[in-house]
Amino acid sequence: MHNNKESTAAEVPRAVRSLPWLIIVRLARSFRYDGLEIRVFEEADEAREVFLKASDALGLIADRDPADYRRIRRHVSRILFMSVSGGLYVPRLRTCVISIDYAKRSTALDVAMMIVHEATHARLWSLGCRYTRSAQDWEERTCVKAEIAFASKISDSAQSIARTQNLLSEPWWTDDAKYLRSADELGRLGCPPWLTRLLLGRRPTKGRPQVCDTSTSLAPRLLAACQR
Ligand SMILES: [Zn+2]
């Protein structure tokens, strides 16, 4: 997945758009793996558990696909684990964001695949590819292919590969899919419907761009941060 920088979000100064993410990064617990910054937005014991899972995942990538590992080190400054659906890449902070719940319940291989996916977004960004509406279908499929190429080098990965391939049957990157995901997250955080409407605006309809993608992607994160 990826944060979309089209529509009116482009009218907001970059520093302002980065500020909420910077606050979340600074509030999260900090770890290091081979010099790479790992941040976990969670209480101490559980944060340690997630960090160990991330270490296993990165170790797996370094061991089975050194070229992929070098690309991650080159293009990614940090990996942040927090309450999100799936994952996304924040280019201005060179940060891969991964669902903390997913990391807890998944194997090191599945977490490694998600890191490879988000790091592929980072590499494409550094090559000049921009995540526009017209490019996002191609870019997401490219990132999924990178995940599968990595997993193919590991035995017993057939189930993870099949699950990843199945994801493409329901594109998660459309405006409507993103809106529904954020509304669901807000609902689970206890946000009343009126506040969800205020934070996210109206549900996107075909042909009408979403009002502000930044608010869609950040609203659940900010609410979760305020509840801590
Ligand atoms: Zn993606």
- Residue 147 belongs to a domain: yes
- Structural domain boundaries, residue 134: 7-170
- Residue 216 belongs to a domain: no
pLDDT score recorded for residue 145 = 95
Number of domains in the chain: 1
Distance from Cα 120 to the centre of ligand 1, integer Å: 8
Query: Could you give the 3-state DSSP secondary structure of residue 152?
Result: coil
Q: What is the pLDDT of residues 108-149, one digit of tens each?
A: 999 999 999 999 999 999 999 998 888 989 999 999 999 999
- Residue 201 belongs to a domain: no
- Residue 209 belongs to a domain: no
Q: What is the pLDDT of residues 160-191, one digit of tens each?
A: 999 999 988 888 888 888 888 888 888 888 88
Predicted confidence band at 9 (pLDDT cuts at 50, 70, 90)?
A: very low
Predicted confidence band at 56 (pLDDT cuts at 50, 70, 90)?
A: very high
Residue for token pair 């995540």: 131
- Residue 190 belongs to a domain: no
Beta-bridged to residue 126, according to DSSP, are none
Distance from Cα 133 to the centre of ligand 1, integer Å: 13
170: left (phi over 0), alpha (psi -120 to 50) or beta: beta
Distance from Cα 106 to the centre of ligand 1, integer Å: 18
Predicted confidence band at 227 (pLDDT cuts at 50, 70, 90)?
A: low
- Residue 109 belongs to a domain: yes
Distance from Cα 57 to the centre of ligand 1, integer Å: 18
Beta-bridged to residue 29, according to DSSP, are 40
- Residue 73 belongs to a domain: yes
- Residue 219 belongs to a domain: no
Residue for token pair 């482009």: 10
For the entire predicted model, the pTM comes to: 0.79
Distance from Cα 99 to the centre of ligand 1, integer Å: 13
Distance from Cα 140 to the centre of ligand 1, integer Å: 5
How many other β-carbons are positioned within 10 Å of the β-carbon of residue 190? 9
